[in-house]
Amino acid sequence: DQQVKQNSPSLSVQEGRISILNCDYTNSMFDYFLWYKKYPAEGPTFLISISSIKDKNEDGRFTVFLNKSAKHLSLHIVPSQPGDSAVYFCAASAEGNEKLTFGTGTRLTIIP
């Protein structure tokens, strides 16, 4: 049972344009959401998070949007840079349980 889904295995975006990565979840108990970025042969690196009491969180070029009614979140990267090429994982956790449930990841490729 995949509680966190990333339906796009890969995405290619031109340098300078906006990258939008999507994530859906099914467990209504999830109330904290995170995005991780992973380069080859490295562990995942935390990027940005959002609590369910918010619908948007912004950090520099990265913005995460949360739509609780649709159980959907998205990560916007603007402008996209070559160094953003990586695999991006969406993760979620529930109140009282720090266990992270991860999606299957989206491989983002920024085209120079």
Partner 1 sequence: EAGVAQSPRYKIIEKRQSVAFWCNPISGHATLYWYQQILGQGPKLLIQFQNNGVVDDSQLPKDRFSAERLKGVDSTLKIQPAKLEDSAVYLCASSLMRGRRTEAFFGQGTRLTVV
Among 28, 41, 69, 83, binds partner 1 (CB under 8 A): 41
Q: How far is Cα 53 from Cα 79, in angstroms, rounded to an integer?
A: 27
DSSP-derived secondary structure for 46-75: EEEEEETT-SEEEETTEEEEEETTTTEEEE
Q: How far is Cα 103 from Cα 85, in angstroms, rounded to an integer?
A: 18
Size of the site for partner 1 (CB under 8 A): 26
* 22 near partner 1, judged by CB under 8 A: no
* 65 near partner 1, judged by CB under 8 A: no
Question: Which residues of the shown chain bind partner 1 in the complex (CB under 8 A)?
Answer: 4, 6, 32, 34, 36, 41-46, 49, 51, 89, 91, 93, 96-105
